[in-house]
Amino acid sequence: MKNAFNIPLSVLDLATVVEGEGVAGAFRRAVAGAQGAERLGCTRYWFAEHHNMESVASAATSVLIGHVAGHTERIRVGAGGIMLPNHAPLVIAEQFGTLEALYPGRIDLGLGRAPGTDPLTAGALRRSLSGGDDFPNDVVELLRYLGPQEPEARVRAIPGEGSHVPVWLLGSSTYSAQLAAMLGLPFAFASHFAPTYLHEALALYKARFTPSQYLREPYAMACVGLIAADTDGEAERLATSFYQLVLGLIRNKRRPLQPPTDSLEGLMTPAEEAAVAQFTRYAFVGSPSTVQQELGDFIAETGIQELMVTSHIYGLEERSHSLELVAPLFQPAS
């Protein structure tokens, strides 16, 4: 049924590297994915900052955002997110102020407080490993750089100041939910890989939200996995690529996204099966009717204002078809 859900649909892309294609292929897929999402009326197309992962090519997130924004016309392109502990707030303000000047009204800045990688790589990124948590102060500093011009300020983001790039806080626990509520910012929960605290975080955010210059009412988004196909069986087959990817993360044997397989029998131990099932708790896999029912339940249970989906599907044509099957269920971008 067309427009079954009266909320917007957006897409998270990790610029996935698939077996046999390489990084350049991942960027071509990212452009094609964003163009397809734009045609289908999706609201945003975000990229996530991860490092030292063979399956993820979106490490230089702001560079990729600019590339994709330059190959699209209307869809909002942004970060979901920038891992702020890896960067000086001034640098991010300058980068996203530049993007906003190039693509006015189309840039989003989602912020996370994790490094997006392992501790050794975090150290290589010149990240402070002192154990102190400067994230709240860094967020406030960044908001100031992107806010109204302060000609008398000794440190200014140029470009950046006066750009008012929309800032989101991202989280996989209750920490960022509480901070987003306190600052009156929109909040996005990473239920596509960390489902445990989804409901608690959303409840805290809504209960403690304080109106601000950015938002008068709470605005929550959740990200889920999506693999849709014409039949349940075909969707389950496509999903085996995703399950293999998750298994590699669990075993710390990371590699590019593998082709789908007809069976995963004997590939995992019972403990690994349980871990994969927990990781993919909010991965919706099936035919349009199956996915519509499950997504409807999820939206009703969470009360979110927007849904974001990410699809680890090996074939570009199959990934595009997955979004084509689901996008008409949602409110198109205005």
DSSP annotation of 333 reads P
> Under a CB-based contact definition with an 8 Å cutoff, are residues 168 and 151 in contact?
no
Residue ranges per domain, the chain? 9-329
Give the number of other Cβ atoms within 10 Å of residue 134's Cβ. 14
Return the bridge partners of 284, or none.
226
Percent residues over pLDDT 90 in the chain: 78
Between β-strands 330-331 and 5-13, what pairing exists: parallel, antiparallel or unpaired? parallel
Q: What is the pLDDT of residue 147?
A: 96
> Under a CB-based contact definition with an 8 Å cutoff, are residues 189 and 168 in contact?
no
d(CA 205, CA 177): 5
Q: What are φ and ψ of residue 60, in 5° steps?
A: -85, 70
Q: What's the average model confidence in pLDDT over 125-146?
A: 80
The encoded tokens of residue 152 equal 């008398």
DSSP, residue by residue, 80-140: EEEEGGGS-HHHHHHHHHHHHHHSTT-EEEEEESS-SS-HHHHHHTT---SS---HHHHHH
Q: What are φ and ψ of residue 3, in 5° steps?
A: 55, 50
Quick one: three-class SS letters along 299-327?
HHHHCCCEEEEECCCCCHHHHHHHHHHHH
- Domain 9-329 matching CATH 3.90.480.10: the answer reads no
pLDDT digits (tens, 9 = 90+) for 281-304: 999 999 999 999 999 999 999 999
CA 328 to chain centre: 21
> Under a CB-based contact definition with an 8 Å cutoff, are residues 110 and 168 in contact?
yes
pLDDT digits (tens, 9 = 90+) for 242-254: 999 989 888 888 8
Residue with tokens 């996005």: 188
pLDDT digits (tens, 9 = 90+) for 255-276: 899 999 988 887 888 899 899 8
What band does 128 get if pLDDT is binned at 50, 70 and 90?
low
Residue with tokens 């967020």: 139
The encoded tokens of residue 331 equal 């409110």
Q: If we measure between CA atoms, which residue out of 246, 310, 307, 256 comes closest to residue 279?
A: 246
Q: What is the chain's mean pLDDT, rounded?
A: 93
What band does 193 get if pLDDT is binned at 50, 70 and 90?
confident
Beta strands of 118-260 (E only): which ranges? 167-171, 187-189, 220-228
d(CA 231, CA 218): 37
